[in-house]
């Protein structure tokens, strides 16, 4: 696609504001569902006294824990751990390969099986009862050599964290590096608009990131109680900048974000190797590589202030910056280039956004409907993945239309293989 060099664009946002709000909420939600529960949650967030300028809500916005998923929260002097969440550094990676559609076999089942063997994924019921462990099918028993090597740059900082927080010793840390997880995490083989083959995946900091996030959320809540600080929602408990806890939190989150990025890199290498073995030919796969977080904090300058930007289900879209916006399984995904729109604090959506809870999807979508929705994709087609069916999400095309002042589409991808945990 030819890059649009015209930097003037018509803004697409509306403003949500009530008398209780300290700041407005700019919402990129035209043409997509924006439920009242999400609006109320954003209005609660807007009452916090340290929000910088306004809150930005992306078109995939939906109800989350503490803060709304699909929100961009700039803050001065504090961060809200529950707004960052527990899947610290969760994000996407995609690489364009030298393969074309004709290079893929007609029967893609062997390719999906090879990827599933190469990358541990899912979670066993035994592990769920035992808080993870060596029998967790989504973890390594003994980490292989490539995982040990990838862990090396993380090891020193992890040992320092363990000295301070001994509970981290009991987490799935190295055993989760290079593993996929479950829920909406996935690995896909896709075709773009020119029939080039792409490999794309979605995962985060796994068990160790979850434990770090959960710990600081609880500590922040205890501090609010200790100092009798009243909040519109207890999940908006915050950590003030300058405190010991703030330093410990930001250092721990930075480590978890590094873990998440390396986790995606290890999985990508293993997936490329699995695809190569199935095809029986080597290929290049580092063309136009993108690796971006969408659950994270970042220190950035916006409107002449250095602020902490929490992107909870949102991607950085600085001018010229590449990003990934996936649809649901069975739907299109997009490689995008940021337009640097300051109104959104240079951000865009991280996906399509749910319109049904997982429980609702399992109640309302039949297995037959799910199979029809993912026709043509080599993927799991059983009842356990109905909560990830396309109709549980907003239409990705509408989501993209609502944010055409935030990003431009560079490549349109459609999966042919999808691995779910």
CA distances from 91 to 261, 341, 346 (A): 8, 21, 17
- pLDDT exceeds cutoff 70 at 135: no
**pLDDT, tens only, 275-303:** 999 999 899 998 899 999 999 999 999 99
Instruction: Out of 121, 202, 350, 411, pick the active-site residue.
Output: 350
Quote the pLDDT of residue 398: 98
Question: Half-sphere exposure of 197 toward its Cβ, with a 13 Å CA cutoff?
Answer: 20
Q: Residue 19's pLDDT is what?
A: 85
* Mean pLDDT computed over every residue of the chain: 94
Per DSSP (E only), the strands in 121-162 are none
Give helix 145-164 / helix 244-279 axis angle, nearest 10°: 170
Tell me the pTM: 0.94
pLDDT, tens digit, 9 for 90 and up, residues 170-218:
999 999 999 999 989 999 999 999 999 999 999 999 999 999 999 999 9
User: Which is more confident, 214 or 17?
Assistant: 214
Q: What angle do CA 295, 300, 302 make, to 5 degrees?
A: 115
CB atoms within 10 A of CB 366: 11
Q: Which domains does the chain have, with CATH numbers?
A: 14-355+393-420 (3.90.1860.10)
The predicted structure's pLDDT at residue 3 = 30
pLDDT greater than 50 at residue 7: no
Catalytic residue list contains 17:
no
């Amino acid at each position: 696609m030819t890059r649009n060099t015209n930097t003037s664009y018509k803004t697409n946002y509306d403003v949500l504001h009530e008398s209780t709000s300290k700041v407005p909420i700019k919402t990129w939600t035209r043409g997509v569902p924006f439920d009242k529960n999400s609006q109320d949650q954003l209005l609660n967030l807007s009452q916090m006294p340290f929000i910088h300028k306004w809150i930005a809500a992306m078109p995939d916005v939906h109800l989350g824990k503490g803060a709304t998923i699909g929100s961009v929260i700039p803050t001065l002097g504090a961060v809200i751990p529950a707004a960052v969440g527990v899947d610290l550094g969760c994000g996407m990676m995609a690489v364009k390969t030298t393969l074309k559609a004709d290079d893929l076999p007609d029967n893609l089942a062997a390719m999906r099986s090879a990827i599933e063997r190469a990358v541990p994924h899912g979670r066993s019921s035994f592990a769920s009862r035992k808080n993870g462990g060596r029998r967790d099918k989504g973890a390594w028993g003994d980490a292989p050599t490539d995982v040990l090597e990838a862990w090396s740059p993380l090891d020193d900082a992890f040992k320092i964290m363990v000295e301070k927080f001994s509970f981290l010793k009991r987490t799935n840390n190295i055993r989760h590096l290079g593993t996929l997880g479950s829920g909406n995490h996935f690995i896909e083989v896709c075709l773009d608009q020119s029939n080039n083959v792409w490999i794309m995946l979605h995962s985060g900091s796994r068990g160790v990131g979850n434990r770090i996030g959960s710990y600081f959320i609880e500590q922040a809540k205890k501090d609010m109680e200790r100092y009798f600080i009243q909040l519109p929602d207890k999940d908006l408990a915050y950590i003030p900048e300058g405190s010991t806890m703030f330093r410990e939190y930001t250092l721990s989150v930075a480590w978890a974000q590094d873990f998440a990025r390396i986790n995606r890199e290890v999985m990508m290498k293993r997936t490329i190797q699995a695809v190569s073995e199935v095809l029986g030919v080597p290929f290049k796969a580092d063309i136009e590589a993108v690796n971006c977080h969408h659950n994270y904090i970042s220190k950035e300058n916006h409107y002449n202030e250095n602020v902490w930007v929490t992107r909870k289900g949102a991607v950085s879209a600085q001018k010229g910056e590449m990003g990934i916006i996936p649809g649901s399984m069975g739907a299109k995904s997009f490689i995008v280039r940021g337009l640097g729109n300051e109104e959104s604090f240079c951000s865009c959506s991280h996906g399509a956004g749910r319109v049904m809870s997982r429980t609702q999807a399992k109640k309302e979508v039949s297995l037959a409907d799910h199979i029809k929705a993912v026709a043509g994709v080599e993927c799991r087609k059983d009842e356990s993945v109905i909560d990830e069916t396309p109709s549980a999400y907003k239409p990705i095309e509408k989501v993209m239309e609502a944010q055409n002042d935030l990003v431009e589409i560079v490549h349109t991808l459609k999966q042919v293989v999808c691995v779910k945990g």
